[in-house]
Each structure stands twice: as C-alpha cells, then as structure tokens.
Chains A and B, each alone.
Chain A
Amino acid sequence: MVQPTLKISTSPHLKQRITTDVIMRNVVWAMLPLAAFAVYSFGISTLLLLATTTIAAVLTEHVVCRMSGKKSTVFDWSAVITGLLLGLTLPPIFPLWMAFVGGVMAIGLGKSIFGGLGYNVFNPALVGRAILQAAFPAAITTWYPAFTPDRFTQVPASTLALPFMQPPEVDVISGATPLAAFKFEGIRTETTDLALGLISGSTGETCAVLILLGGLYLVVRKMMNWRIPVAVLGSAFLLSGVFYLLNPAEYPHPVFMLFSGGLMLGAVYMATDMVASPLTPLGVWIYGAFIGIVTIVIRLWGGLPEGVMYAILLANAVSPHIDGWVQPRVYGTKPKAAAA
C-alpha cells in the first residue's frame, strides 16, 4: 500500500448536517406560504413591501460586512429572515421608502451594531419595526382592507409615497384591525375569519393557520423550540381567559386574543429567534410566559391596541438574565445558583 495522505482532526469525527444556514433557509421556506398569502390578500403593494424590506436587510448586511472588512455573511440567510419578517409586520400599504429605512435599521441597529449574527440582543426585525413605529406613527397604523377587488391592478398611493412627503389620506376606518376595532369601538370579529386571515392587519399576521403550519414544519424538523410559542400562547390564553371569565362583557374572549393581531406571528417567528431567546429548558418557559403576559397586559390596559412587539423586545432584554437564574443542575452536582 502506498502511504496515503491522512487527514487528522479531533473527535468527534461525525457531524450532524443541520447547519446554521440550513436552519435559516428553512425558516425562510416556512414563512413563504405566509408571504404568498399576504400578497394574495393584500395585492401588489404587499409584494413590493416584502421585497423592499428583504432587499434592504440583505443589502445592509452585505454593505456593513464589507465596510468592516469581513466576508459577507448574507449567505447564512439570517438577513433574509429579518427582512421578510419585518415586511410581514407592517401594514399592507406602508410607504416603501419607510419600509426600506426599516430594513436598514433592523440590520444596522438591530444586528450589525452588536456584532452580527449570534450577538444581537433583540430580534432585529422587531428593532426595525419599533424604530418605524416611533418615527412614522401614522403610517404604521394606517390599515387597509384585505381582498379589495383592484388589489392586483392598482398600487395604493401611499405605497409609492416619496420620502419626506406627507402620505395621502386613506380610508382608515374601513381597514381597521380586529384589535383596534375591539379596543376603540368594541367591535368583535369572528374567530374563523381571524384564523383564516379574512381580516385586515399587518401583512403577515392575518392568517393564523399558515403561521401555525409553518411553525409546525420547523418544529418537526427540530429547527424551532416548540416550547416558546406554546408558552407565549398558553400564558396569553390563560391570563386573558381569567379576565374573560371575570367579566365577559368588558374583556375579549381568550381565543380572540390568540388569533388577533401579531400574537401568533410573534409567538411563532419572533419570540423564537434563537439568538435573543434563552437557552435553558426552564428559561425558555419563563421567557415565553413573560411575553404572553406582557402582551395581554398591554392589550388590556395599555394605550396601544397591540403589545406583542414590546413584550418580545422586553423579554429579549431579560433573556440572558433568565438563563443565568435557571442554569440546569449539572449531572452529579447539587443544585446551585449559577452566576448570571
């Protein structure tokens, strides 16, 4: 036998093939049906919106990497998730230039500034959305009805608004979201409409069924921690259920709470951001419950109809501390309080 060239490596010599880029790509695949439904229900403006946020996010990721002299990290696909997810949290006729700013902010201030993938404290898409909400409070609460007949032929004027121009007036009332309708007018929406997405809202939050199916796909492929959505939705259901039982006239039904607004989208795709959520098994439950409870508290007593975004951002901030408190007991040791 000739002397072969032997490669040496350290053990283990076997490797599971689910890599980070594969996980990220699969998250994108899981969101695509949702994005497709958003385009179907809100039309061409939504297609433009999702494309804008995604391109803005990916472009920012690329440019920041090159500016800091690193290899571009766009091929880990995480920027695509951020961009797409941001687009799915915006109203259908959100001005594109604002959406672009949001995409840049999400990656720039939500991720790159912390050191890129793996280092972000908050979910980058939500950072982008929070900035947009602060900067453009009117535009981000300007809703539009779903399934308008001309949605594939006409682009609403606000979508194409030029930067720094006042967006044209749109009929706000006709497109009010179920949460806003309930909060400000006491109107209740049918649960089946909520589940199937026959309502107004942010582009990606309307169809609960598709959100859950996408999440199920990721859970089955072991690419998502199922405990987080279960904890978020479970705690939201329980807390709102308690108040509903106390006073059904004043408080909404818990099922309405689950299926309305961004709770489902947030629980499945945002709270589960691996980087910004806890690692420890118990920590994950605490984190999820925290999000569910804060969401309901904001919805019931806060000034805003929706609270998912702030709930998740708050939970992101405390997630490293949660991990510190509940480090699992190491085999063969007595329980101890680990340092945070």
Chain B
Amino acid sequence: MTLNIFRRKTFKHGVHPPEHKDETNGLPIRQFPFAPVIILPMAQHIGAPSKVVVREGQEVVRGQVLAEADGYVSVPTHAPVSGVVRKIGNVPTISGQMTTGIYLEPFPASSQEVQEGTPVALETATPEEIRMGIQQAGIVGLGGAAFPTHVKLKVPDGKNCEVLIINGVECEPYLTTDHRVMLEQADDIYMGMRYLLKTTGADRAIIGIEANKRDAADHLAQHMPNDLPATVEVLPVKYPQGAEKMLVTALLGLEIPSGGLPIDVVVVAVNVATCAEIGRLLPTGRSIQERVVTITGPGIKKKGNYLIPIGTPLRFVLEQVEAAEHISEVYMGGPMMGVAVSNLDISIVKGTSGIVVFSEEDVWRPQTIYPCIKCGMCLDACPLSLNPSQLGILAKHGAYDQMEQNYNLMDCFECGSCSYVCPSNIPLVQHFRIAKRTVKQHRAQK
C-alpha cells in the first residue's frame, strides 16, 4: 500500500450530474412537527419485517417497542411518538405493495418524553453487546439501503476488520442530509465511531467526504478527539462515489471482489448518519425515532433539512414544506438511485434520505429512444467497467444467461450512470433490473 501515496483518490469512470446541493446545504437541520397520524410499516428494512407486539387501542410511549425483531436479519420498530395504536393492518409502501403496519395517533398534549432502554456503555460493552444494542435501537443503514447495521458489523469467523470507513460521500445530487449531520452532529459521529471501532475490531477509521462538502470535512478534522484513530479524506466529486465498492477503491485503492463484501478486503463501511445515530442512541439505550431528511427540488417552497419522525406520512410532509399544487414527480432518495413515489399516503421510513420534488416543467424527458450507436459513453461511465452497451443489446434479445456468464450482469448495482449518459436514451438500468431479477428467479428454481 506504500505505493498508493501518489494515487489520485478516486475510482475509475463515473459521471457528474448537476449537483443542486447549494439549495439546501446551508440550511440547518430543523425539527418537523408531529403529523396527526403516524403510519409505520413493519418492513422498513431489508430482512424479515418486525413482529407486532402491541394491540389496537393500546396506549404507547415514545420510544416503546411496537414490534420486535423477527430473527437475526431484522430490527424492532419503536414508537416515534406517544399516542394510541389506532389500527394494525395494511399500509402502503413505495413499491406499491401493501405491508403490515401500525397506525399511531399522537397524544396532542403529551410532553413526548422518550422512554429509554438499557444503555450500552462503551467502556464495558463487548463487541457482541454493542451489535445487540444497535439492533435493539432499531438502527439500519440510513444512507438509503436500510440494511440492518448490526448484521453488517458482524465480522465473519476467519475474517478480520482493519479499517472502518465512515461514508460521508453523499454523491446523490440534491441531497444534503449527511452534509448537515456532519456539520451539526460531530460529537455523535465521534462517539459512534468509538462504538464501531470496538465492535468491528478495526485499528483505524477513515471518514470519506467529497470535495463539495469541504466545510464538513474541515469541521470533522478540526474537532477530532486526539485519542480517536481516525482521519478525514477529501475525495474529488464524482458519482457514484458513495457506493461502498467505489468508496473503498477511492480511499484504499483496493477492489472488493465480484460478489464479495468490503470485509473481504478487511474493511467495514458505515454511512455517517448511521454512525451518528449509533453514537447518540447507544449511551442512553434510546431507539431511533426520527431521521434527517433533505426535502428539496423545484416543486418545494420551504426546502430544507428536517428532522422528521419515522412514519410521518408523505402527504403531511409535503403540505408542511408547501409543495406546489401541480407537482408531477416525487422521488424518495436521490434522483439517481431513488424511487419514484406513486402514492402520497406512504410514509417517511428509516431509509428515506431525501424527498426530491419536481413539477412537469422542470423535468426533461427524452422523446425518442434511438438504437444503440455504440458510442461507448456508457463504458466510460460504468464505475465497474461493465459493458452496458453490449448488455443492453443482449437484454433486448433476452439473452440473460449470456449477460450473466460473459458480461458480469450480476455485479451491476444499478447506479444509473449508463442510463444517465446514453445519448440514445436507452433505459439500460431498467433492462438490467429485469435481467437480474429473471436470473435470480432461474437460480431459485434450480
């Protein structure tokens, strides 16, 4: 690794979509009001949905467990507000599918004291206890993936973790959630890093931040406690640097093997907001009740970074921030990898890092899909050096097996860089999603 000192800290290829971060990155995090009803899906995370342990009509206290983790790859769901359980039934989700959930009506006059659980003391807790504490706090990856963090932190037997990477890249355009967290919650981040270093056994930590958040990088570097073995690295701005694979490569010059995880190169990577949440919640044994969400886009009047209770209905959120009447597109997450919302009755969940809203006139949509002209722009965009052009042609012919076997289809993590640059407007990523799903189904049938 000694030769790496002359290496430019970045990854191969990638794209530069317009950032639009200036619109919200100077706005401090503000507390959002409680909605008249809170809608909590039980499947906010990857893995088994939480198992409901309250009944309809029951009064609950803010922070109380409403649903337990159902197995190892699962987390509990807590009450983000003191109130009464109005209904347990189906709730809408962003995918369009209904899932079990809880309708919670807040007590208007409640002081909203938070119930605390069992604190996890940094000095005395074992790595195992820290992971359990993280699970009990209901923490999942807040960057958008919503994968249960305690699972990610478990270093498999026979492997070891040397470097902890704190992901403050936030490469998605428009989003400034992590940026504000880094500026305003530095102490929580440091505390979280202590827990994370202890539970993973890593010797050192690196906070990776893109150059468009230099103020955050300076802030974190300046206030870094002396006894914390951590550094801050500023990376050139390029999408999708926030992807785990790309960040590991940018910071360390290592490649995560195809189909592997960061731990295969002795690394564990955690989103910076997740890290802050761990540092804030574990010392008191509290659970996650709210998260920072960037609400922005041309369709929003009161843009900003808001601390929003989990389960707040999107319709209420948009009313509060004075969304325009004629909005036509609402994206949950950033515009590159986020999901288009079809129904405003869904709610803010743990994985919601941003809400980006457009009106018809703000959206440019290509009118014509041309044939692939083999220009090669997608090859120069793909951070994994895949051949999206060839994959797209194969997808058109349904040659999914060939895509998988000869062109590494399954490595694609759908960052969207190829679709973004394609001059022929071919929806490449969508082709690959369908192909990947089909391949997975075939595998499952075998």
Contacts and interface: CB of A to CB of B under 8 A. Distances in A.
Nearest to B325: A2
A14 B420 contact: yes
Given A12-B419, A328-B385, A274 B255 contact: no
Contacts of B329: 6-7, 9, 13
For chain B, give the interface size range: 35 or more
A276 B330 CA distance: 40
B365 to A, nearest CB: 8
Contacts of B318: 1
Interface string A209-233: 0000000000000000100000000
**Most chain A CB neighbours (cut-off 10 Å) among B325, B339, B370:** B370
B337 A12 contact: yes
A76 B425 CA distance: 13
Interface in B231-290: 245, 249, 255-260
A332 B387 contact: no
Given A6-B342, A274-B375, A331-B384, A13 B336 contact: yes
B379 A275 contact: no
Given A8-B340, A16-B420, A18-B423, A333 B258 contact: yes
Interface string A1-36: 111111111111111111111110000000000000
A7 B15 CA distance: 25
B406 to A, nearest CB: 5
Contact of A279 (B173, B259, B323, B379): B379
Interface string A279-305: 111001000000000000000000000
Interface stretch (B199-207, B214-222, B408-416): B408-416
B145 interface: no
Interface string B398-409: 000000001110
A220 to B, nearest CB: 15
Given A12-B429, A279-B379, A117 B338 contact: no
A177 B330 CA distance: 63
Query: Chain B binding site: helix, strand, loop or mixed by DSSP?
Result: loop
Contacts of A332: 245, 255-260, 384, 411
B335 A13 contact: yes
Given A13-B335, A15-B366, A277-B374, A330 B425 contact: no
B373 A118 contact: yes
A187 interface: no
B382 to A, nearest CB: 9
Given A4-B325, A12-B336, A331-B411, A76 B370 contact: yes
Nearest to B405: A339
A333 B408 contact: yes
A327 interface: yes
Contacts of B386: 330
B370 A12 contact: no
Interface string A69-102: 0000000100000000000000000000000000
28 contacts: A1-B323, A1-B344, A7-B363, A8-B342, A11-B414, A11-B429, A12-B416, A12-B417, A12-B429, A14-B17, A14-B336, A15-B365, A16-B423, A17-B364, A19-B423, A20-B425, A21-B368, A118-B371, A275-B374, A279-B376, A284-B376, A328-B387, A330-B411, A331-B383, A332-B257, A332-B259, A332-B260, A339-B406
Interface of A: 1-23, 76, 115-119, 225, 274-277, 279-281, 284, 323, 327-333, 338-339
Interface of B: 12, 15, 17-18, 173, 245, 249, 255-260, 315, 318-319, 323, 325-331, 335-344, 363-366, 368, 370-376, 379-380, 383-387, 389-390, 406-408, 411, 414-417, 419-421, 423-425, 427, 429-430, 433
Given A1-B318, A7-B328, A11-B339, 15 more contacts: A1-B315, A2-B325, A9-B329, A10-B433, A11-B331, A11-B337, A12-B335, A21-B368, A23-B373, A23-B375, A279-B387, A328-B385, A329-B385, A331-B258, A333-B257
